[in-house]
Amino acid sequence: MDQPSASRVNDFALKIATVNGTGSASANGLLLQALFRMGIPVSGKNVFPSNIQGLPTWYEVRVNKDGYTARSPHFHLIVAMNPESYARDIDEVVSGGWVVYDSSKGLDEEFRRDDVTFIGVPLASMCVEHFQGARTRILMKNITYVGALVALLDIDMDVVRGMLEEKFSYKRHLMDANYQAIDLGYNYIKEHYEHPLPIRLEAMNENGDAVMITGNAAAALGCVYAGATVGAWYPITPSTSLMDAFTEYCKRFRVDPETGKNNFMVIQAEDELAAAGMVIGAAWMGARSFTPTSGPGMSLMTEFIGLAYYAEVPSVFFDVQRTGPSTGMPTRTQQGDLMLCAYASHGDTKHILLFPSDPKECFEFAVKAFDLAEHFQTPTFVLLDLDIGMNDWLIPKLKWDDAYVPDRGKVLTAEELEELQKFYRYQDVDGDYIAARTLPGVHPKGAYLTRGSGHDKYGRYTEDSEAYVEVMDRLLKKVESAADHVPAPQVLREDAPASYGIVSLGGCHWAVLEARDDLAARGIQVDYMRVRGFPFNQTVGDFLAEHDRVFVVEQNRDEQLRKLLVNETDCVKEKLVSITYYGGQPLSKGHVLEGLAPHLEKTLMAVGP
């Protein structure tokens, strides 16, 4: 177990428990950004209710000098601001840790623990004394606990003040209030407690070229850079901020300077069915179009996804996954839509999927998704999750290659059509399974009827077995040929061959990396492959073949990645051992190690001490 009383400079986790709707989010953001600016690797996880006001909400911060940013459930310090959740919050502090609480009304003895240190700060009383108005007092209480943390953790006060100055430079009175609140908390600790605590911070220089952003914002920016002009959506947690960000970036980058008019259109649809239809309609016309959604929206979109697959209309779907079937737990994270997206819609279908692991890949894969969708003329899915999509992540600065040219796929121009004897929509003339398409408005020779009903390779309606099968076989080969075009898996291995491997994807990456290093430090070598796209390319099958046993780490109950691997590679299923976590929190290294433990113990015993 952790020994927090020993000095843990730049290596601890803390948790702030508040009530949602009280403005704590901006205080917590301030805290995270301050640590980031001190050059210390840091991550923040917002654990919030599906509610606007009055329910418990938490913010978890982990600082780690070695750069491990996966969630850590071992909290060395808790800021307990919500009496409703005191019992649970105080229970979560590791032995030897600290609890900062609002001492204005005291703390019931029942919550006391002998093995943790309680630090009472009269936050409410101080704010009542120094600020006017209920709302201001509530807001400033949050800033005051940040002030207390500045002293307790040795946060650089100049950094904090600098940030407040940037944020409120145009609102002098707010800046003054925030300064005052920070000082209240800071000075109270100075006067009453020993500080800083053994868990504390020291400025580092690890974040030189890093930025902090959410996956949803990065994906939205990717859509802007990819040249998407039409976005259609229905609001749904946790994907909403993706379209909010797209709109915001478009207002910045896509308003015609001369006319003040928009080079884009965002349509808020009546439901996800309509949103998918709009994306397909726009793509039919040749626009790059997309929709962000989450599991329940994906369920509704499956009808249209089948149409886009069969009629071969490029379309991009972002599924910011959340927890559970049905409504489930909308504000918790999961990787539960892998199977749904891989084979979405009735009949025979298979789709291209991309699995980003952080906002950097969200940006890059968003652009890639449009290229793949248009190249292969098929729906393409980017699978984020709530943790990647909504939390702030520290990532290397995004780069853009100005030489990038969008891959629009085979689209015939008016000149090319003019020279054609006759155009047939679904004819594969060069053996790559992709038929050229035409866009409306270009040339009468390109006209055809796009349809989801049975059609032959000429694009004509058919109920003929052979004509139907011919098209369906080409579609399968087409999507499978995308395996060599989706981002290749990232493989980490040592020089010596290892008999054990881990396969994982998406946001599990960071916990797996940390667990793998942990094992390596104990002399256990495990190779690791992170799949980044579907259909799986040959590297995936090879990795499975090269290891005696492969642990598949994922965040869903039904072993969906494992099933996809069994389904889509030659690997025997007995070789693949599942390690699943599906409780809704981001994965932590403990989940991985606990899952591996029973298997690895046997190994260690087999090879001897």
d(CA 573, CA 520): 26
Q: Which long-range contacts (CB under 8 A, 24 or more apart) does 520-525 make?
A: 524/600, 524/603, 524/604, 525/494, 525/496, 525/498, 525/500
Minimum distance of another protein from residue 198's CB (angstroms): 29
Q: Which stretch binds another protein (CB under 8 A): 171-179, 349-357, 399-407, 519-527?
A: 399-407
Minimum distance of another protein from residue 556's CB (angstroms): 29
Is residue 263 a contact point for another protein (CB under 8 A)?
yes
**CB within 8 Å of 458: residues ≥ 6 apart:** 424, 425, 426, 427
Is residue 398 a contact point for another protein (CB under 8 A)?
yes
Give 419 or 495: the residue with its C-beta nearer to another protein: 419
> Which amino acid appears at position 73 of this protein?
P
Minimum distance of another protein from residue 278's CB (angstroms): 3
Is residue 109 a contact point for another protein (CB under 8 A)?
no
Q: Site mask, another protein, residues 221-240, x = CB under 8 A?
A: x--xxxxxxx-x--------
Within 10 Å of residue 549's Cβ, how many Cβ atoms? Answer: 15
Please give the structure tokens belonging to residue 474.
């080409």
Minimum distance of another protein from residue 205's CB (angstroms): 14
Please give the structure tokens belonging to residue 285.
């016309």
Minimum distance of another protein from residue 459's CB (angstroms): 10
Is residue 377 a contact point for another protein (CB under 8 A)?
no
Q: Which stretch binds another protein (CB under 8 A): 70-78, 100-108, 124-132, 447-455?
A: 447-455
Give 65 or 451: the residue with its C-beta nearer to another protein: 451
Give 148 or 280: the residue with its C-beta nearer to another protein: 280
d(CA 59, CA 70): 14
Is residue 317 a contact point for another protein (CB under 8 A)?
no
Q: Which stretch binds another protein (CB under 8 A): 9-17, 152-160, 395-403, 500-508?
A: 395-403
Number of residues in contact with another protein under rule CB under 8 A: 77
Minimum distance of another protein from residue 460's CB (angstroms): 4
Is residue 208 a contact point for another protein (CB under 8 A)?
no
Is residue 406 a contact point for another protein (CB under 8 A)?
yes
Is residue 262 a contact point for another protein (CB under 8 A)?
yes
Give 262 or 490: the residue with its C-beta nearer to another protein: 262
Give 86 or 304: the residue with its C-beta nearer to another protein: 304
For 176-241, the three-class secondary structure string (H helix, E strand, C coil) is HHHHHHHHHHHHHHHHHCCCCCCEECCCCCCCCCEEEEEHHHHHHHHHHHHCCCEEEECCCCCCHH
Out of 133, 431, 441, 523, the only residue in the binding site for another protein (CB under 8 A) is 441
Out of 31, 267, 388, 519, the only residue in the binding site for another protein (CB under 8 A) is 267
d(CA 270, CA 89): 40
Out of 240, 289, 293, 302, the only residue in the binding site for another protein (CB under 8 A) is 289
Is residue 254 a contact point for another protein (CB under 8 A)?
yes
Give 89 or 371: the residue with its C-beta nearer to another protein: 371
The distance of Cα 301 from the centroid of its chain, to the nearest Å, equals 21
**Residue of 478, 493, 580 lying closest to 535 (CA atoms):** 478
Is residue 279 a contact point for another protein (CB under 8 A)?
yes
**Residue of 240, 249, 201, 198 lying closest to 222 (CA atoms):** 249
Is residue 451 a contact point for another protein (CB under 8 A)?
yes
Angstrom CA distances, 525 to 358, 516, 517, 545, stand at: 25, 8, 9, 17
Q: Are 123 and 30 in contact (CB under 8 A)?
A: no
Is residue 150 a contact point for another protein (CB under 8 A)?
no
Is residue 41 a contact point for another protein (CB under 8 A)?
no
Is residue 429 a contact point for another protein (CB under 8 A)?
no
Is residue 460 a contact point for another protein (CB under 8 A)?
yes
For tokens 């025979």, name the residue: 348
Give 131 or 310: the residue with its C-beta nearer to another protein: 310
Give 466 or 574: the residue with its C-beta nearer to another protein: 466
Is residue 370 a contact point for another protein (CB under 8 A)?
no
Out of 174, 175, 203, 266, the only residue in the binding site for another protein (CB under 8 A) is 266
Give 208 or 431: the residue with its C-beta nearer to another protein: 208
Q: Are 123 and 141 in contact (CB under 8 A)?
A: yes
Buried b (16+ CB within 10 A) or exposed e, 25-53: bebbbbbbbbbbbbbbbbbbbbbbbeeee
Minimum distance of another protein from residue 79's CB (angstroms): 25
d(CA 308, CA 316): 10
Is residue 329 a contact point for another protein (CB under 8 A)?
no
Is residue 53 a contact point for another protein (CB under 8 A)?
no
Touching another protein, residues 511-550 (CB under 8 A)? none
Q: Which stretch binds another protein (CB under 8 A): 47-55, 184-192, 256-264, 557-565?
A: 256-264
d(CA 183, CA 200): 19
Angstrom CA distances, 302 to 298, 343, 374, 434, 562, stand at: 6, 9, 19, 23, 23
Is residue 438 a contact point for another protein (CB under 8 A)?
yes
Out of 453, 499, 538, 567, the only residue in the binding site for another protein (CB under 8 A) is 453
Out of 138, 442, 472, 491, the only residue in the binding site for another protein (CB under 8 A) is 442
d(CA 366, CA 245): 14
Give 198 or 406: the residue with its C-beta nearer to another protein: 406
Is residue 31 a contact point for another protein (CB under 8 A)?
no
Residue 273 gets the label, from left (phi > 0), alpha (psi -120 to 50) or beta, of alpha
Minimum distance of another protein from residue 279's CB (angstroms): 6
Helical axes 123-130 vs 172-192, angle rounded to 10°: 140
Minimum distance of another protein from residue 27's CB (angstroms): 19
d(CA 508, CA 357): 7
Please give the structure tokens belonging to residue 307.
């149409």
Rounded to 5 degrees, φ, ψ at 40 are: -100, 130
d(CA 457, CA 73): 56
Please give the structure tokens belonging to residue 488.
């290749």
